[in-house]
């Protein structure tokens, strides 16, 4: 009878494929994280804007106002003003890139350290009906969305809080910006996934002391990559070579290409290397996540 009349209505619950179940669970976990973010906007917004605001306010407003503008090269008058304006323009891209990096660490790495350590919340996540690797990818997706929101919040601050003119060239570089923002957000969230699976609560101070701090200062936040060429030993621009190991340099240079007309690294270098870093961090982070969960 069942064959003649078709499947029994109660049997429809058993026809959902594993892919559909995984997709549903992935979306549910993502919506859960976004709901938590919406309810914690009072903490998210101050945490996001404080550091970029202080960087831009001090370096591009306070210093020029009191006569200690960075980028003026010790000169006076129009030449010093042009130097300070060039520094402010370079700093805009660096601040946006740095904000996305810190958001990837704060939104992915630090919560994951707690979930593996104190709260054990990760055990509830891995019980969802989807592969463990997709649980890790959901963390990256949620972190990337938070990085995107952080960039949207920070960009006006970096553009308008200054004493000297900042030269933004968005009208020519929209395609670069629209591709660089999601790529940078995913790359930094993937880096956060790698950090979150490698460090535990006892070693979090090491994360900021010996990893994040060098990445920040050697990531092109306050200078362009091309400006490092004069730093040489025996004719070799050693610092310009060493910072190529830093993923943040490609993020800041990418935003420099997208937002300004300042000298920057070639785009045919930025995109492939940043995509390569993203793939590396995803592979390392997912492998570490599986190891921590299944051990």
Q: Under 8 Å CB-to-CB from 154, ≥6 apart: which residues? A: 48, 49, 52, 95, 96, 99
Among positive and negative, which fits the CA dihedral 229, 235, 239, 244? positive
Structure confidence by residue, pLDDT tens digits, 117-160: 766 777 777 777 888 888 899 999 999 999 898 888 887 776 66
Predicted pLDDT at 275:
96
Measure the CA–CA gap between 179 and 85, rounded to whole angstroms: 27
Tell me the pLDDT tens digit for each residue of 273-283.
Answer: 999 999 999 99
Q: Which range is most confident: 54-58, 190-194, 262-266?
A: 190-194
Mean pLDDT of 68-73: 54
- What is the reported pLDDT for 191? 94
Q: Determine the pLDDT at residue 259.
A: 82
% of the chain at pLDDT higher than 70: 79
> Shortest CA distance to 284 belongs to which of 192, 185, 146?
192
The whole-number pLDDT of residue 68 equals 57
pLDDT of residue 169: 58
Q: How far is the C-alpha of 71 from the C-alpha of 64, rounded, in Å?
A: 10
Question: How far is it, in rounded angstroms, from Cα 107 to Cα 37?
Answer: 10
Helix or strand holding residue 186 (H, E): helix 170-198
| Average pLDDT, rounded, for the chain | 81
Position with higher pLDDT, 123 vs 245? 245
The pLDDT of residue 1: 44
Cα 276 from Cα 291, distance rounded (Å): 23
Distance from the Cα of residue 170 to its chain's centroid: 20
Residue 58 has pLDDT above 80, yes or no: no
Per-residue pLDDT tens over the stretch 286-295: 999 888 887 6
Q: Given 3-state DSSP classes, what are the helix, strand and coil percentages for the chain, each rounded to the nearest 5? A: 80, 0, 20
Report H helices in 58-109: 63-65, 77-104
Lowest mean pLDDT, pick from 32-41, 170-179, 245-254, 266-275: 170-179
Question: Which residues lie across from 103 on neighbouring strands?
Answer: none
C-beta separation of 257 from 173 below 8 A: yes
Residues paired with 236 in a beta bridge:
233
**pTM as predicted:** 0.83
More confident residue, 162 or 57: 57
């Amino acid at each position: 009878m069942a064959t003649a009349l078709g499947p029994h209505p109660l049997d429809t619950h058993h026809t959902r494929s594993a892919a559909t179940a995984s997709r549903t669970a992935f979306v549910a976990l993502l919506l859960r994280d976004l709901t938590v973010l919406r309810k914690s906007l009072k903490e998210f917004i101050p945490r996001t804007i404080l550091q970029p605001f202080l960087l831009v306010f001090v370096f591009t407003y306070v210093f020029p106002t009191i006569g200690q503008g960075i980028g003026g090269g010790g000169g006076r008058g129009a030449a010093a003003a042009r130097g300070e304006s060039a520094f402010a323009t370079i700093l805009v891209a660096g601040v946006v890139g740095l904000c996305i990096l810190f958001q990837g660490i704060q939104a992915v790495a630090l919560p994951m350290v707690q979930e593996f350590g104190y709260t054990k919340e990760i055990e509830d996540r891995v019980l969802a009906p989807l592969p463990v690797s997709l649980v890790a990818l959901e963390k990256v997706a949620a972190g990337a969305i938070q990085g995107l929101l952080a960039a949207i919040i920070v960009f006006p601050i970096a553009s308008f809080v200054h004493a000297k003119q900042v030269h933004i060239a968005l009208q020519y570089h929209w395609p670069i910006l629209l591709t660089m923002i999601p790529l940078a957000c995913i790359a930094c969230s993937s880096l956060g996934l790698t950090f979150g699976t490698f460090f535990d609560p006892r070693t979090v101070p090491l994360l900021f002391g010996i990893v994040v701090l060098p990445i920040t200062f050697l990531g092109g936040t306050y200078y362009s990559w091309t400006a490092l060429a004069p730093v040489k030993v025996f004719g070799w621009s050693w610092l310009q070579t060493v910072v190529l190991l830093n993923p943040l340099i490609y993020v800041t240079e990418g935003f420099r290409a997208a937002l300004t007309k300042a000298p920057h690294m070639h785009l045919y270098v930025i995109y492939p290397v940043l995509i390569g870093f993203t793939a590396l961090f995803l592979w390392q982070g997912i492998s570490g996540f599986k190891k921590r969960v299944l051990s």
